[in-house]
Amino acid sequence: MVRILPRVIATAGRPFVDPIDKASSIPCYLQLAEMLNRQIADRRAPNQIYRLPSENELAGFQGITRAMVRRALDVLKREGWISGEKGRGSFAAVCRVEHESTQPVSTTVDMRERGW
């Protein structure tokens, strides 16, 4: 089941992500990636996939370029927190599955652990 995250989450009336600190020495895309990562971890629930706000929505809310948003989403994709589909958006993983790199894991077992 896919749940679409609204622009403003009803929980505590807070937006999906907090504003980034443009005066910080930490790059904007890393701040956004960290905030999204925290929000995904807070909303994780069994058998549910969450759709993240669009690149345009995140860029507009944060006052940054879509390129920075794409870079933040790319960080999360490489770390296994989200997946993206061209034309459909980015989706938060149901759960992040980690394995020892020295331990072989079958595709079937891996997909079952991911909830597929």
- CATH number for 105: 1.10.10.10
* Total domains, the chain: 1
pLDDT in tens, 14-67: 455 678 898 999 999 999 999 998 888 777 666 677 888 899 999 998 999 999
Contacts of 23 (CB under 8 A, 6+ apart): none
Half-sphere exposure of residue 115: CA atoms within 13 angstroms, side-chain side? 14
pLDDT over threshold 50, residue 12: no
Per-residue burial over 77-111, b = 16 or more CB atoms within 10 Å of its CB, e = otherwise:
eeeebbebeeeebbbbbbeeeeeeeeeeeeeeeee
Q: What is the DSSP string of 10-21?
A: SGGG-BSSPPP-
Domain that holds residue 104: 2-113
Q: How many helices (H) and strands (E) does the chain have?
A: 4, 4
pLDDT over threshold 60, residue 99: no
Stated pTM of the model: 0.66
